Chains A and B, each alone.
Chain A
Amino acid sequence: MCLGIPGKVIEITGEGVTRTGRVDFDGIVKEVNLAYVPDISIGDYTIVHVGFAITQLDEEAALETLAHLQELEAVEVELDPDAALAAEEAAAKGEE
């Protein structure tokens, strides 16, 4: 039920329920219905499921999530595992 792949909007035509776009997935371009993402613009990323854009991909959130994960990797846990864990939990809670 859930196969949704991120792609970049490279062209938009029409409006309303027939608003359609060409979305680029690493060289594969597919025609995608954009009716459900009326605020999306060219250059934005979207998640596509069965030929429909179901949401705009929040690039900032994506980068934040990755940064958070990479930070964790850098933390030196050998010294004080509990403190590291606590710091991480606090950061996670702060984001919500």
Chain B
Amino acid sequence: MKRCRRWIQLIHLYRSGEIGDADRTRLERHLMNCPRCTRLLDSMAELEQRVAPLRRSRPTPPDPEQLTQNIIERIVRPGVREPAAVSLLSWLSRPRIRLALCSAIILIPGFYIVQEWGTLRRVQQLERRLADLPEKPREISLPGIRSLTAEAIVSRGNLSSPARIRTLVDVAEKLSRLARIRTQGDLAGRLRTLIRIRGPEGRPELFRMMNDF
């Protein structure tokens, strides 16, 4: 019986179109030498004999007209959607749309959270460096201020977000406080004005101003 195991499945798939020609030929060859599998095939033929009348006899609804009427009554009830209208809800309930929406809900905030987290880390590093500066602000060199401010600008990325601009202004204020800049007006004030007026486009001009300074 052990060696017949592979044929048993094929014997159960006895109706036409269920196994390929090659399998059928191999099975027929096997059946010529295996009385046990032949008996199984006979019992399958008997099963088919039993099932065939069940196939021919078709159950019918006891009261077809009542069944139709019940269906029609159910579809005209308020709340059952008109078939022509593709509602937003049904469109949103499609599996692909649901998958896309869930991905967007996870990925978009995720992207901003990761980006914001990176920025915050860089700002923290910058602030630590500012905290480590010598206590006497006059000793800070002008190139030092330039590079720190430039780093602050770079670390902010683009200047589109109000939160980023605010952080940039904070950093600039700290720098100006440390450096006690009085000439050419207050650096933070100028930065703030520049950013407010020019937005992201102000960034190259900001660099130019820093170089001029």
A and B part of one assembly:
no
